[in-house]
Amino acid sequence: MAGALGRVCGNPSTLILRTAFRNFSVTTARHQENAAAAAATGIDGKKFPLILDEKFDDCSSVVVPREAWIETLDTSAASPQVGLMHLHPQVFGAFPRLDIIHDNVVWQRKMCMVNTAHTKSRAEVRGGGRKPWPQKGMGRSRHGSIRSPLWRGGGVTHGPRAGTTHFYMLPFSQRLRGLTSTLSAKFAQDDLKIVDSLDMPSDEAGYLEQLCESRNWGPTVLFVDESDIMPRNITLASDTIRHVNLMPVYGKGSLRCSWLLSTVPLDDLQEELALILVLRQAEVEGLEQRHPSLRRVVGDV
């Protein structure tokens, strides 16, 4: 989970999440009601979409949970939508802070950068071991080595050194807000898709390319799963496609792809993120009560 909170970057045009059908108390009853209504009207109840209606206890009654379709990667199905589920509004309906998203993008780009440029200091330049002329009596300025930074061909003062890293740690609150802002922006732009499974009936790259084209999943697609061991067919199909990537949830980045498709157990992810948001808000409120002068400085997380 630390990697999911830390790495927010990436720029997929589509994000796909796999949901786990569990921990929903209303699911069975709602599905039975749909099946009964379908049977009364002569419609096959098995083809009716599964509606996952979850109640979020930590949300205000004024905030409406977001809704998203659950899709399938099987093109032989009668409909690509196989269900409907509610998303936590604090995770997928937050106000997108573009400045925080930019901070996360810059942070993730610099955290992997290592400077390879190198200049030699006066101690590393060859030669210059003796004093070029005596200290006094020559009428010249005083010098102790021809490899001084004052001389042409001498060492460089404060020059770039190889192996210098640009890594720095972004505050936890900014990483958390960057993740929720990115997920909310992707969902608002219809660039976030939820699938029931990453299992595909074929391992051919053409099948996956045709699927992305027919679903309008944008130029780049990122599939995110809960495990780093992906199904065989989608692994072989995406191996030769440069704009389709697979990534586990702990290394998730949601900015570099134009579409982000994830197969994580979405209920666990959004519950954990929502819990962290609630705890952070309670921590800030307690800090403001103890120190009223910090209200304008702390603000909201």
Q: Give the tens place of pLDDT for each residue, 178-197.
A: 988 988 999 998 888 888 88
**Residue 35: burial class (beta carbons within 10 Å; 0-12, 13-18, 19+):** middle
Instruction: Give the integer Cα–Cα distance in Å for 111 and 166.
Output: 6
Provide the pLDDT for residue 261.
61
Burial of 271 (0-12, 13-18, 19+ CB in 10 A): middle
CA 272 – CA 268 distance, rounded (Å): 6
Would you say 79 and 204 are in contact if contact means Cβ atoms under 8 Å apart? Answer: no
Res 11 pLDDT > 80: no
pLDDT band at 6 (very low <50, low <70, confident <90, very high): very low
> Contact 13/45 with Cβ under 8 angstroms?
no
At 16 the pLDDT is 76
Task: Tell me the C-alpha distance between 254 and 15, whole Å.
Answer: 7
Share above pLDDT 70 across residues of the chain, in percent, rounded to a whole number: 65
Using an 8 Å Cβ cutoff, are 250 and 43 in contact? no
- Quick: pLDDT tens for 95-150: 999 999 999 999 988 988 999 999 999 999 999 899 999 999 999 999 999 999 99
Position with higher pLDDT, 1 vs 245: 245
3 backbone dihedrals φ, ψ, rounded to 5°: -70, -35
Q: Which two tokens stand for residue 44?
A: 């096959």
User: Residues of the chain with pLDDT > 90: what percent?
Assistant: 32
pLDDT of the residue at 159: 93
Element containing residue 223 per DSSP (H, E): strand 221-225
What pLDDT is stored for residue 257 in this prediction?
61
Q: Is the pLDDT of residue 25 over 70?
A: no
Q: Which CATH architecture has domain 2-110+166-298?
A: 3-Layer(aba) Sandwich (3.40)
Position with higher pLDDT, 73 vs 283: 73
Identify the helix (H) or strand (E) that includes residue 29.
Answer: helix 27-40
Tokens 């191996």, residue located: 239
Least confident of 26-40, 164-178, 272-286: 26-40
Both structure tokens of 36 = 């009964």
From the list 256, 273, 255, the residue with the least C-alpha distance to 264 is 273
pLDDT reading at 235 higher than 80: yes
Identify the pLDDT of residue 299: 42
Write out the two tokens for 207.
């099948």
Q: What are phi and psi of 216, to 5 degrees?
A: 60, 55
Type of residue at 239: D
pLDDT at 287: 54
pLDDT above 50 (res 9): no
Per-residue pLDDT averaged across 51-61, rounded?
A: 59
pLDDT at 47 over 80: no
pLDDT at 297: 42
Q: What does pTM read for this prediction?
A: 0.70
State the pLDDT at residue 39: 47
Q: How far is CA 86 from the centre of its chain?
A: 21
Give backbone dihedrals phi and psi of 275, rounded to 5 degrees, phi first.
Answer: -65, -40
Q: What tokens appear for 77 in the block?
A: 């199905």
CA–CA dist 87, 266 (Å, integer): 9
pLDDT band at 228 (very low <50, low <70, confident <90, very high): confident
Domain residue ranges of the chain, discontinuous segments joined by +: 2-110+166-298
Q: Which DSSP string do the residues of 116-158 spell out, in sequence order? A: ------TTTSS---S-SS-SSSSSS---S-TTSTTSTT---TT
Confidence label for 68 from pLDDT (cuts 50, 70 and 90): confident
Vertex 183: Cα angle to 178 and 187 (nearest 5): 145
Over 90: is that where the pLDDT of 152 sits?
Answer: yes
What mean pLDDT do residues 194-207 have?
A: 90
CB distance 300 to 261 below 8 Å:
no
Tokens of 144: 């102790």
Residue 70's pLDDT band, with cuts at 50, 70 and 90, is confident
Judge residue 127's burial from the number of C-beta atoms within 10 Å of its C-beta, 0-12 exposed, 13-18 middle, 19 or more buried: exposed
For residue 8, what pLDDT band results from cuts at 50, 70 and 90? very low
265 DSSP assignment: -
Q: What is the pLDDT of residue 280?
A: 66
Beta strand 50-52 with 259-263 is: unpaired
